[in-house]
């Protein structure tokens, strides 16, 4: 193989990995939204159980919320903002409030808890290139970020 073909092959591999990292970020966002949906539905179901025999208005409200959540209407969202080195996964609540959920290295797929709006915390929490870690992350992720804390 010539140096040029080796270079092209390496560049293709890097581009493929970067596309996969973006795809895995979108998969994480879907898992986070699913987790929030389940969490919110459970909360409304608990509220319904406490309202047993009480106001009809409260019961109608919680039933409407459960129906909306079941149909995929969420009061929150997640976005990806791509910087020079990281994809920043941002939690957007029902208002205009935004916070960083986590950072993902664009080139390696390593996931970091956020230390601030601009910087990740030290220590890789998950490596999305590794199938086992990626599946574990997607299975255990929660919308509030508890899965990113070191045990």
Per-position DSSP letters for 53-122, written without gaps between them: TS-HHHHHHHHHHHHHHHTT--S-EEEEEE-SSEEEEEEE-SSS-EEEEEEEETTT-EEEEBSSSS-BPS
pLDDT digits (tens, 9 = 90+) for 51-96: 876 677 788 899 999 999 999 999 999 999 999 999 999 999 988 8
Q: How would residue 1 be classed by pLDDT, with cut points 50, 70 and 90?
A: low
Residues 6+ positions from 108 with CB-CB distance below 8 Å: 17, 21, 127, 129
pLDDT at 54: 67
Considering only CA atoms, give the Rg of the chain: 20
pLDDT at 13: 80
pLDDT digits (tens, 9 = 90+) for 122-148: 999 999 999 999 999 999 999 999 999
pLDDT at 112: 98
Beta strand 98-105 pairing with 77-82: unpaired
DSSP state of 123: S
Residue appearing with tokens 């309202």: 51
Q: Which residues pair with 100 in a beta bridge?
A: 90
Around Cβ 97, how many Cβ atoms within 10 Å?
A: 9
* Average pLDDT score over the chain: 92
pLDDT at 53: 65
Question: If we measure between CA atoms, which residue out of 94, 92, 64 comes closest to residue 78?
Answer: 92
Better-scored residue on pLDDT, 79 or 11: 79
**The pair of three-digit structure tokens given for residue 101, joined into one six-digit string:** 């959920």
Element (H, E) at 142: none
Torsion of CA 28, 103, 125, 92, to 10 degrees: -50
Better-scored residue on pLDDT, 34 or 48: 34
- Highest mean pLDDT: which range of 5-19, 58-72, 104-118: 104-118
**The pair of three-digit structure tokens given for residue 51, joined into one six-digit string:** 């309202």
pLDDT at 93: 92
pLDDT at 151: 64
pLDDT at 150: 77
């Amino acid at each position: 193989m010539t140096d040029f073909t080796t270079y092209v092959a390496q560049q293709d591999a890097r581009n493929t990995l970067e596309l996969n990292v973006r795809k895995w970020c979108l998969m994480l966002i879907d898992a986070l939204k699913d987790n929030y949906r389940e969490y919110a539905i459970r909360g409304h179901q608990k509220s319904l159980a406490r309202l047993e025999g009480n106001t009809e208005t409260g019961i109608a409200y919680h039933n409407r919320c459960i129906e909306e959540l079941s149909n995929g209407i969420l009061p929150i969202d997640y976005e990806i903002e791509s910087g020079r080195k990281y994809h920043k996964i941002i939690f957007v609540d029902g208002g205009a409030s935004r916070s960083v959920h986590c950072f993902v290295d664009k080139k390696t797929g390593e996931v970091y808890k956020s230390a601030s709006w601009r910087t990740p915390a030290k220590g890789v929490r998950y490596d999305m290139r590794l199938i086992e870690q990626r599946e574990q992350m997607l299975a255990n992720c929660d919308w509030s970020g508890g899965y990113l804390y070191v045990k």
